[in-house]
Structure 1
């Protein structure tokens, strides 16, 4: 209420009591950081009279209701006044001088104000933020007999619920980049508490070690992908933002190539000729990688899996998988060496001599028969395709006579006529093949007969 009205009411009471000592001086009182004018702590009245001061704090919530108490019993007279924080103006809100409560216009700026039945308590419905401040109830008891004066200081703090937060993200959601997330709240009485939550694709929810309204990430990781939302709370309520999906783009990583069937050697992967072989390329990437296959630098396939049915020996070589992220325009590749093992094939035997008469076909000579002159030099060369390369063993009439691809006889004799066999062996595959020729040694006398 205004100072003038307060003095008028006190003057009325004083006239009824025939004593003007009821008019107290008003001086400011500080409550925390808020300054309000209030009566002095000493009031000169009458030794038989009593002046009491009461301080209470009440918390209200915007748009809700609150009750401000003025004693436990109904006084004979009372005046409610209001003072905004940071001002010294005392404005009357409602008073009752014995003829019923009179609500002032200022009450509409505070909410829907009524007096609680059979009391001097004030009820405020649909509380407005402007009601935040100091309410003072001056209550007068027993004014016809032994007057008593009570001052009830009610410090009303009007709190605003936190509004639903809005989660905003700025930056590029790419691995290694920078990113900001801002939890924005339009309304709410502080202090406001912030909790950040991260939900993975597996629905695992964790609280982030952040308590501010803004999260700054200077090195984004791929495992940051997931749903995010912030939870804000104050002394009134708790609200949660809508979930926002954060999709971190990355990759492709270096590809991994799985070969099936998987057999390795010191040179890389190996496979047997005519077997089926599958090569599967995988590279972590978001969005998922696209794959290209190359054989000795020539593109041969599109897709993560390369299947070769009944691979041939000419399939030996380098196989490269190129993983490509079209969104980030990035790529990575990996190359493996695949060796096709085979053989040995059937050997080929080449016979050389100055006087060798090759492939004499007679009724008594077998096919592939060779002849040579006695005392002349004869060389037999055995060749067979094989991978790994084959080892060669020579046999004369089933008896081993030499190891190596070439058998050389410097001066052949007639008793060396017979079957010469070359055995080609692939020790890695534990396989072998052989070929036999017949060599006849003639002396000069035989030639003279022809």
Structure 2
């Protein structure tokens, strides 16, 4: 339908207006001309009005395009007009109308019946609310009203184009500790509603980060900032899929753990190096500053006391390296190399005793010692030392919490002679030299005793009063040098007559 109107103004000009109905817009072209036929000065106005009007019939939408967030509710506001004398009997919304076909009633569609709510009336308001929108709801929606007269039908084309979007977090693949990082909450279209963004880390809201900006700025990022980030709009239940923020940093908190905690010789032992680092660190093991192995775990099977050293590990990645504190590998074992030693020379006078001492190699050190005499079932003493008073073969047993071991037996011999008891200790093994020395001392002692006795007899013979030759000698006053020159003179036997 085309209409031409001529309007005369007091300024001796006129406006030629041509209205062309395009079923969706009104195009107004105005040409101002002077009545004096002066050179034309054109002024052209192109006015796009989102209304659908024709002779009083029309539908006006508040927005021709709506970008809505997934799962949110959408309000499509509109008003409609019709000529006086008509009564509206039916109003409804439809989607994707096809020219020449009766448009379907949207509220009759099972996909919309529970989600569509008509908020308008049958006079002028045609607003609706569509809740829990999904991407399947992306269509062109139009309002349709029907009056009580055969020619009183109207479809408001074009209608409202609905786009449904979700949210996506855009984050860098990785960031190094101490740097700044910016995360962006993106949508496929510009949201119609004014949006206030909320950020989450590991599903926990970052309440301090609530603003209208769709970006999250983390300054001097720390390793604690690593996690799964998602975003949402304030007042909406929809939360975006999470994006992982990967913060890289050098090794920290490097430590060594040992399993089991109590290590007995012969056990299998596992040392584990733990470190907090990103990316994961390479592990090296050191024993007394000497490189041993590589890898986070170097199990030791059938461990022995030779492994009792200080161990530490080094954790290293491209950002740096760090050593753990040193740990001592304490290997425990039962007593071994148990032996008996002698305290003193082994030569005693009658009534004295000789002390035997029990020693052993063990971890933890042996604290319990028992003494036994061979051929006797019960112990004859306890403690690390034992005083032997009688002849026999004696041995000791050393005990700790992991076991016990007995020593070789030693022989204790008591000799009686010269009014004294001489105790001789002869070791059954490894004591031959000591035994020989003791025997030599005993022989020397016996010979000395005999020598003294011989000298006494010799002096007695010299001082016999029956011998006239030496009666005048005072032996008590004679010096030892003079005495040493004297020889024994025996009486000459009488000559045969």
Q: TM-score, normalised by structure 2?
A: 0.46
> Which of the pair has the greater relative contact order for Cα pairs under 8 Å at 6+ separation?
1
Q: TM-score, normalised by structure 1?
A: 0.50
